[in-house]
Amino acid sequence: MKTQATVAQPTVNASSPLVQVSGALAGIVIFILVAAWLAKRFGFTGAGVGAKKSLNISASVSVGPRERVVVVDVEDARLVLGITSAQITHLHTLPPVSAPDVTEKAPAPADFQKLMKNLLKRNGKD
C-alpha cells in the first residue's frame, strides 16, 4: 500500500505585514512615476530654471559634412562660431539683440494653479 504525502502550500494572508509593506511600496513607486510623467507632459519646471538661461543658439547652418556655423546669443553679445568635429572657432562678435526680441521668444513659466484649474475645467469638474 502506497501512502501519498500531501504538501501544504503556504497561503498568503492579506493582513500580513510583508504584503502591506510591499503594497505600500508599489503604490509609492507608481505615484512617483505618474507624477514624473505628468510633469513632463504638462511642462512643469522649477521657478528659476528658465530665468538662468543666458546662452541660446539663434541660428545654425551646415557648411560641410561635419562643419557648422552657429550664431549664439550670450547676455551681452552675439557670437558667430565655426564648429568642426575637432574644434570651435570664434569667427565674429555681433551686437546684442534688443531686449523685446529676447522676451518674445522666451515662453512664460507654467503656473501650477492656473494649469490645475484649466485641467479641472476640461474634465467637467468645475
pLDDT tens, residue by residue, 55-89 = 888 889 999 898 999 999 888 889 999 999 999 99
Residue 92 belongs to domain spanning: 56-105
Report yes or no on 91 lying in a domain: yes
* Residue 3, SS3 per DSSP: coil
61, 38: one domain: no
pTM, 2 dp: 0.39
**What beta strand segments (E) does 7-124 contain?**
56-62, 68-73, 78-83, 88-94
- Asked if residue 9 has pLDDT above 60, the reply is yes
Report yes or no on 19 lying in a domain: yes
Number of independent structural domains in the chain: 2
List 89's β-bridge partners, or say none: 82
Report yes or no on 83 lying in a domain: yes
